[in-house]
A and B are shown apart, each in its own frame.
Chain A
Amino acid sequence: MLGPVPLVVLVPLVLLTAALFLQGFRDWLTSMRTAIRLLVAMAAISMVGALVGQRLPPEAYTERYGEMLGLFIFRTGLANVFRTWYFALLGALVVVSTITCTLRRIVQLVKHPGRRISATGSLLTHLSIALIAAAGLVTALAGFKYPAPRYLEAGDMIEVPEGGFSIRVDAARTEFTEDGSLSEYLTEVTVFEDGTEVLKHRIEVNHPLNHRGIGVYQYEMLPSSKSIQCAFIGVVVPVSEGAPLHRDISVAPGEIVEIEGTDLSLKVLEFLADFTYDIETGTAGLASIRHDNPAVLVELLEAGELVVERWFFMGRHAGHRDDSDLPCRIFFLDYIPDFDNGLTRFEYARQPGTPLLFAGLGILSLGLCLTLWTRRPPGVA
């Protein structure tokens, strides 16, 4: 047990050591050398983050860099380097260093009012770093950003998570210019709160819906998976003498098109972007909404009488079937997708630190302009 005399010695010693340590730490933190070392370290880690693909599955790293290096990248957090503890620590040190430097500059500015403009610029520049860091922290704690779980078509409703409102898709389409260039992806929506319509909005790329602190963005758009504008069908009709008759025709769904030089005609009844067949129910359906295995249901007529109703496939499944029972061979060559009745997908984002970030970047820009554009270059008399 320590008596009163050792305590009298020990307590001041501990306090003195702590004070010296804190003094040393403060000196270290506010020195220019430390600031530069921190910036160099941040640049080096950022370089790794730029070069090494971020947030990929572990196997992607072993595949790309080999077993050992891939595992090293994944285990050391270099695969998601901007979310590691060491990057956060580095950021925190930069912010603390900047704040202490800012406080020192405020004192200097008060004591030495000369060169006030450039000194204010320098002060603003330092202050803005703290604002930008605060913005990042606020967003990291309370923000989110992720795509909606499903695609929607006109008439569909979706609840916006954490938003307290729902969205009904009124129209989803891709627009093109007259020369066929892509011009816009857009979704017309109606917003509902507690079942009551509150507003209508047109969501486009660069023009999200911002409602109750949540941004709803145009994330993806696909053409309809169940309808098309037009199908291109190739028909080969055998003739008794000579070469068979070849005809390429374009058919809009529901339209009956006669095959020239024959008494045949055909009609496209249905389209499926990714055809699949359910043996149990005996029905055709969609395997996915992607255009991976397009098929059309064609009705073939001869002298106005129905001959057959059959699915024809484009791409890899074309031509693998025996259609010898038909009076002609039919090939599904191509199609123009239906872009007017598209499938849209949103992305939801809440970034509460964004106004603070913009303020920080604005102040940073102002501070730099004042510092660098109003002061005499160092070294010039």
Chain B
Amino acid sequence: MDTRPDMIFFWVALWSYLAATVGACIYAGTRKPSVRGIVYGVTLVGLVSQTVALGVRWAASGHPPVTGPFDYMLLLSWAAVLAFIIMWRTKGLELLTAFAAPVGVLGMGVASLFPSRIEQQLIPALQSYWLWIHVSLAALAEAAFAVSFVAAVMYLIGDWRGWERLPDKETLDMVIYRAIGVGFPLFTIGALLAGSIWANSAWGAPWSWDPKETSSLIVWLVYAIYLHARLVKGWRGVGAARLAVLGFLVTLFTVLGSRFLGGLHSYGV
């Protein structure tokens, strides 16, 4: 086991989220408020540990921890868990927010597959203040999409197996819409606007149809379809939930796919 301070906090966070995930499953079955309280406490321990891990990595590298897939997944899952924690006291979302921890497990689990070394010196292409603007805004947007994904999955489960144990469908529908409504402008500013400004100074063109750029455009189009249909015709229900799930799957592909497809972004996430 890695004894570096950031990694100790990383593992504390991951194990806390794992424990909280088990607790969330128990809560889903029992609906005991005391179990939810424990889940909240353990999730909070995980979030604090994850925050410390990020802070240590920031201090040790001298720049925001937004380079490489390990840091990115750590940041993305941190933001997603934080979003759930912020919604914790919202009435009607007791079960939804209890499922913050699985998102943390998923994000940190994926992060653990990548090298965790701390790079003090950034490669020339990454030496720009646009790095943290572009990456951190994209991560926040994708964290919001993760929230919409969890709500959409619950919606689809409810539609499939009945709604007795789940938040009511109107509430879930609203969470999906609001999460996408928060994430979409952030994604546009962070991934597209900031990304194109940076690309223009680094690569000589704001847009190069690189696989990551293209898949970001697909993410944008999928959520644009959702919002357009929602805002113009009030589209909701199973179809909208399925589209929210699809949107997040394409988001995951965008985050991780460029590692396999190559292109200009292949040195980063």
Contacts and interface: CB of A to CB of B under 8 A. Distances in A.
Contact of A351 (B173, B181, B205, B262): B205
A205 B202 CA distance: 6
Interface in B183-221: 184-185, 188-189, 192-193, 196-198, 200-207, 209, 211, 214-215, 217-218, 221
A59 to B, nearest CB: 18
B252 interface: no
A361 B125 contact: no
Closest 5 CB pairs of A and B: A349-B204, A181-B121, A205-B124, A368-B185, A50-B214
B19 interface: no
Interface in A320-374: 347-349, 351, 354, 357-358, 361-362, 364-365, 368-369, 371-373
Contacts of A217: 203-204
A139 B211 CA distance: 20
Given A32-B232, A82-B209, A377 B178 contact: yes
A361 B261 CA distance: 26
B206 A357 contact: yes
Interface of A: 32, 35-36, 39-40, 42-43, 46-47, 49-51, 53-54, 82, 122, 136, 139, 145, 177, 179, 181-185, 204-208, 215, 217-218, 347-349, 351, 354, 357-358, 361-362, 364-365, 368-369, 371-373, 377-380
A54 B211 CA distance: 9
B30 interface: no
Given A357-B207, A368-B184, A206 B201 contact: yes
Nearest to A80: B209
Contacts of A373: 181-182, 185
Contacts of A179: 120-121
Give the interface residue-count category, chain B: 35 or more
16 contacts: A40-B225, A42-B221, A43-B218, A43-B225, A145-B205, A182-B124, A205-B127, A206-B201, A354-B205, A354-B206, A361-B196, A368-B188, A372-B185, A377-B177, A379-B173, A379-B234
Given A179-B120, A358-B197, 10 more contacts: A32-B233, A182-B123, A184-B124, A185-B124, A206-B201, A215-B204, A357-B207, A365-B193, A379-B170, A379-B236
A126 to B, nearest CB: 10
Contacts of A378: 177, 230-231, 234
Given A42-B221, A46-B217, A365-B185, A182 B200 contact: no
B31 interface: no
Given A46-B214, A184-B127, A351 B204 contact: yes
Contacts of A208: 201, 204
Interface in B214-252: 214-215, 217-218, 221-222, 224-225, 227-234, 236
B209 A43 contact: no
A90 B236 CA distance: 27
Nearest to A375: B231
A51 B262 CA distance: 10
Interface of B: 119-121, 123-125, 127-128, 170, 173-174, 177-178, 181-182, 184-185, 188-189, 192-193, 196-198, 200-207, 209, 211, 214-215, 217-218, 221-222, 224-225, 227-234, 236, 257, 261-262
A368 B188 CA distance: 8
B124 A50 contact: no
B225 A354 contact: no
A177 B225 CA distance: 48
